[in-house]
Amino acid sequence: LGGQAINRIESGETSSVHPLRAREIAKALARSYADTIYSTVPDQEVLALSRDIKQEVHGDYFLAEIITKGVAYHIGYLPSAIRMRIEELFRKGSITTIFCTSTLVEGVNMPADNLFITNYKKGYAYMDAVDFRNLIGRVGRIEYNLYGNAFLVSVNEKGTVKQK
């Protein structure tokens, strides 16, 4: 899903892929998508966060590597200080693509130009109309841009995008 859907978005826009079935899927897709990005020049705040992740979490934690390519994931068990810095760098545009679990529905303010929705679940239950409106309200925030795009992506059992 990562490269197939997101590659159609113009550079300079921010994208959020949400909500995924589980945190492991969010992490795997973020890593897979980051592998398609060959070169970036991260700013000093991104480099500092990468160093801090290596020191505070683990030296081999791949999040430290992928954020230098402008890619991250946002899941509940990330240390809160790191999660908050990821959110801030996304708002600034230093991180341009975030793969999320249902944390985005739970009041996190991370406006995006594009939102890719792969299912309608919040945890194990299906989202209600209020949660869905809250989710799609994350794109096109007036203080950031005039419009946004929400894409409903149909994924089959094998994890590949269905063409329509």
CA distance 137 to 111: 8
- Taking 90 as the threshold, does the pLDDT of residue 44 lie above it? yes
pLDDT digits (tens, 9 = 90+) for 123-164: 677 888 888 888 787 777 667 677 888 888 776 555 554 444
Q: Single out the residue of 97, 116, 88 nearest to residue 36, CA to CA.
A: 97
CB atoms within 10 A of CB 68: 18
Write down the pLDDT at residue 46: 94
Question: In which residue are the tokens 């249902």 written?
Answer: 102
More confident residue, 156 or 2: 156
CB atoms within 10 A of CB 39: 5
Domain that holds residue 44: 2-152
In a domain, residue 161? The reply is no
Q: Band of the pLDDT at 104, cuts 50, 70, 90?
A: low
Q: Single out the residue of 40, 23, 29 nearest to residue 6, CA to CA.
A: 29
Question: In which residue are the tokens 């402008």 written?
Answer: 70
| DSSP notation for 21-58 | S-HHHHHHHHHHHHTT-------HHHHHHHHHHHHHT-
In a domain, residue 164? The reply is no
In a domain, residue 160? The reply is no
Q: What is the mean pLDDT of residues 5-32?
A: 65
Least confident of 35-39, 40-44, 62-66, 138-142: 138-142
In a domain, residue 159? The reply is no
In a domain, residue 162? The reply is no
pLDDT digits (tens, 9 = 90+) for 85-103: 998 998 888 998 888 877 6
Bridge partners, 114 (sequence order): 15, 149
In a domain, residue 158? The reply is no
CA distance 93 to 90: 5
pLDDT digits (tens, 9 = 90+) for 120-129: 777 677 888 8
CB atoms within 10 A of CB 48: 12
CA distance 133 to 125: 16
CA distance 15 to 73: 12
Question: In which residue are the tokens 């700013």 written?
Answer: 43
- Taking 80 as the threshold, does the pLDDT of residue 1 lie above it? no
The CATH number for 91's domain is 3.40.50.300
pTM of the entire predicted model:
0.75
More confident residue, 64 or 37: 64
Q: Band of the pLDDT at 67, cuts 50, 70, 90?
A: very high
Q: How many domains does the chain have?
A: 1
